[in-house]
Structure 1
C-alpha cells in the first residue's frame, strides 16, 4: 500500500501507523502532533491498512490546534478526578479559543481551585503519559462507565445506536469516552492556563442540573502562552465596558440588569451629539424622516 504525504511517500506491505510511515518517509518533524488521513482527523498512532493521503498537522494548523486543545481538556479532567474523585465527568470539547470541561460537583470551584488544578496538570504533563485509544461494544462500554460511577457518560452511550462500537481514550489511570483524535502523550502540552469557572446546564437545558464549567487555553510552548496572556491584558485595557465606566459615560445596577446600561450625563450628551450629527447628515442628503407606531 502507498502512503502519500505532502512532501514524500512511503510504501508498506503491512499495516503501519501514521507516525511510523511518516518517519520512514522522512517527513516527520518534532512539531507534528496529529494528521488528516484522507481528509479526516486522526491520531499519529492510527494504523493504516490501505492506500492513504496523509497531511501531517502541527499546532499552526486549525485542525492541529483543535486536537491539541481537546487533549488539554482531558488533562484538566484527569487533574479534577485526582483531586476530587467524587466529581462526575460530563463533556470537555475543544473550542475556538481553547477548551472547557463541564463537571458535576457539589463543591464550589474558585480561583484557589483553579490554581490547585493547574499544579496537578503540571504533574500529569511531567509524567508524559501515553494516550491510547481503545474500543468496546456498547454493552461493555456502559458497564465500564457504570463501574466508574460516570452516570453522564452512561447516558451519552445509551443514546448511541445499537451495535455501535464505542471509542475511549486512556492516559494513566484516567479513561474518558471520546471520539478523538488526541495527541500521543500528555507531555506535549507544555503550557496552559485555566482562565475562568462558570455555570452551565447539562446539554444546555436549564431544566437539567447546573454543572461547573472550567475554561482554559493551552500551547506547545511557554512563550506562546505568555504572548497570549499579554494580548488578553491589552484587550482588557481597551474594553469599552471597563473604559465607559471609568470615564463616567454609563453605569449599571443589578435590579435593572447588567446588559442595560444607564447613561450618565457625559454619556447622554455623547449620544445626543451623535444623534444630531446623524440627523444633519441625513438632511444634507435629502432624507425624509418617518416615525413608526411606538
Structure 2
C-alpha cells in the first residue's frame, strides 16, 4: 500500500504506485482538472509522476505561486514551439521565467519584426487550442548532445555538453517540438491560455558581449484573463509615468551621449533635487548625524585594504597620476573610516553618526543604464554609524523608525523588510557574520517588523536589511539599506578607547535612506506621475494676469505670499505674457503645477485671486491670506 499525506493531514491509501493526477482525482474531479503539478516535500513533479513510496503531497494549481511560475515556464516552451513552426531555421537557446513573465533567446538569420511577433503569438494560441499533451522522457547526456546536434540545434547541444558526463537529462515534448528542461511542466498546452508577447530585444549568447548577438522575445503569462488585463493596464499606466518621458516634458533633466550614465539637471529638476536633499539634511540634523564630505578619488592601496579592489574593481573607474593608481569612489565608506580615525575616540563618543551626500561613480555596462534610475554617476545620501556591540540593537531600531517616517513623508507607506544574509564570496569570520545577522534580526523584531530572509544576498563585507517600497502601481523598489560591517573597521584599524582603557574595534553600520538621489527622484516622478505634492513640486504655483493692467498686481501678490510664508522660499512662476488666459492656463496645467492663480480686474479690485487646483479643479476666488493658509497647510502636512 502507498500512503499519501495531504497538506491538511488527511491520508489516502492506494494499492500500488500512483500518479499525482490519480491522487487529485481521488479527492475530486475538479481538482484533477485544475492540477498543474505535484509537490512532494520541497520537490515539484509533473502530474504524470508516479509515487512509489509513502509521501507527503500537495496538489499545485494556478492559484499557487508555484503554479503561476509553472504556467510561465511552460509558456516559454510554447513560444519556442511556435517559433520553430514558423521559422524552422531558427535555433533555440534558453528560456527562463522572469518577474511577471518569461523570455526565450533565438538565433535567427534576420531580426524579428513586429509582424513576426504578432504571427508567433497567433501560432501560440493555435498550439494551445490543440491541447497537446506535454510528455517527459529521460536521455543520457551524450545521447542528448547527439540528438540536438542531429536537429541542427547547436546552441542547445553546447549547453548540454557543458553538463557533467554521466548525468541523465529530461526532455519535454509537445507535438513535434522537444526541448531540454528539468521541468516540471503543465500537463498539456491547453492549460496555457492567458499570455501576450511584449517585445524583442538583443541578448548576447551566454550573456557575454564577446559572443554573438541573439534575439530575445519577452512575454507575460497569467492564470486568468483578468490578471493579464490588469497587468497590461499597469504597464500602460507605467508607460505614461515613465520618468524619462516626464523628465523631458516637465523640463526636469536630460541625458546626453557626451556623458553616458550621468544626468544634466535643469533648473526645475534641480529645485526638486534640492528639496529632497534639504529634507534629508534636516533628517540628519534631527537624528544626531554630523555631515561630512570626503574626496572623490582615493589611492588604489586603500581599496585593496578594504577588499573592494578584489571584489569590485571591474565596476570602478580608475586613473593614474605621477605613477600612482587611483579610483573614483564607488561608495563612501572607506572615506568615513579615515575621517573617524582622525583623533582618539572614546566609548563616550559612541555612537558616532556621519552623513554625506557623496558623489559616487560605478562603471555600469551601457546595456544596464536606465534613465536616471541606473546611472554611472550618482549621489548617495550615505551614512555610517560607529558604535559598540551593545549599542547595535538600539541603533537598528532607531534607524528603522527613521526610514518609516521618511518614506511616509515622501508618500510611501507600504514597506517590505528583507534580511540579506551572507553570500558565498565574503570576507570575515563565520562568528562575526553570526553576530551581525542576529543583531539585524533582533533589531527588526524589536521594531515589530515582519521580515523575509534573502539568503546569500548580503554584501561581501556584511549582512543587510533592505527596505523595499511599493509605489502607486504596486511595483516594488528596493530603496534603503542598513548593513552591519565588522570587517572594514578591522581592515582599516579603526579603534576606540573602552571604559577599561583598552583599545577595541567599533562596529560600523552602513545606512542609506533614499539611496541614490537620482534613482529616488525617478521613483518619485513615476509614483506621482509627475504631479508631485506641493512641498516637492519644482514650481508650486503660477501667477497669471489676464491683461497688462494686472501685471503689477501679480508682482505684488508674489511678493506678499513670500512675506506671508517666511522660510518657505515659495517657488512661483510669474507669467505676465501677452497671451490668452486660456492658453496660459492650459500650458501650466500640462506642467502639472499644484496651483494656478489668475488675476483679472475683478480680482484686483477685491484684493483676491481666482484659484485653480491641479486636475482642473476650480477652487473659486479667495483672498491672498486665505490662499497663503491653504498652501502653507499643504506644505506642512506634505499633502
TM-score, normalized by length of structure 1? 0.92
Structure 1 Cα separation of the partners of residues 229 and 274 of structure 2: 42
Match of 1:172 among 175, 183, 192: 175
From the CA coordinates, give the structure whose radius of gyration is larger: 2
Q: 1:132 aligns with which of 131, 135, 143?
A: 135
Contact 1:19 1:28 in 2 (8 A): no
Q: CA deviation at 1:251?
A: 1.6
**Bigger shift: residues 68-77 or 203-212:** 203-212
**Structure 1: how far apart are the matches of 2:240 and 2:58?**
40
Tell me the equivalent position of 2:273.
271
What's the TM-score once normalised by structure 2's chain length? 0.44
Give the corresponding residue for 2:388: none
Q: How do 1:134-213 and structure 2 match up within 5 A?
A: 134-213=137-216
Runs of 4+ in 1 over 6 A off after TM superposition: none
In the TM superposition, what whole-angstrom CA distance separates every residue of 1:114-170 from its partner, at most 9, and x where no partner exists? 111111101101111110000112232122111111111111221222221111000
Higher relative contact order (CA 8 A, sep 6+): 1
Structure 1: segments with no counterpart, 5+ residues? none
Aligned-pair CA distance for 1:274 = 4.0
Aligned residue for 1:262?
Answer: 264
Distance change (3 Å), C-alpha of 1:277 and 1:188: closer
Secondary structure, aligned partner of 1:129: coil
Q: Which residue in the other structure is 1:50 paired with?
A: 53
Contact 1:92 1:99 in 2 (8 A): yes
**1:233 aligned counterpart, secondary structure:** helix
CA shift at 1:108, angstroms?
0.4
Residue range with higher mean Cα deviation, 19-28 or 137-146: 19-28
Partner of 2:7: 6
Cα deviations by residue, 1:242-275 (Å, 9 ceiling, x for unpaired): 3222211112223432x42321221123324444
Aligned equivalents of 2:289, 2:76: Cα separation in 1: 55
Summarize the Cα distance change of 1:141–1:248 in structure 2 as closer, same or farther, 3 Å threshold: same
SS across alignment from 2:57: strand
Q: Which moved more, 1:121-130 or 1:272-281?
A: 272-281
Q: Summarize the Cα distance change of 1:179–1:290 in structure 2 as closer, same or farther, 3 Å threshold.
A: closer
2:231 is matched with which residue? 228
Q: Which residue of the partner structure matches residue 34 of structure 2? A: 31
Matched, 1:122 2:155: no
Alpha-carbon distance change, 227 to 290 in structure 1, aligned in 2, over 3 angstroms: closer
Query: 2:157 & 2:85 partners in 1: Cα distance?
Result: 21
**Equivalent residues of 2:24, 2:35 under 8 A apart:** no
One of 95, 102, 107 as aligned partner of 1:104? 107
CA–CA distance in structure 1, aligned partners of residues 281 and 131 of structure 2: 65
Unaligned runs of 5+ in 2: 297-639
The alignment covers a number of residue pairs equal to 293
CA–CA distance in structure 1, aligned partners of residues 54 and 90 of structure 2:
44
Contact 1:188 1:220 in 2 (8 A): no
Helix, strand or coil for the counterpart of 1:199? strand
Q: CA deviation at 1:6?
A: 2.3
Per-residue CA deviation, residues 53-75 of structure 1 (Å, 9 max, x unaligned), is 11111223221111111100000
Structure 2 distance, partners of 1:93, 1:200, is 14
Show the counterpart of 2:20.
Answer: 18
SS in 2 for 1:140: helix
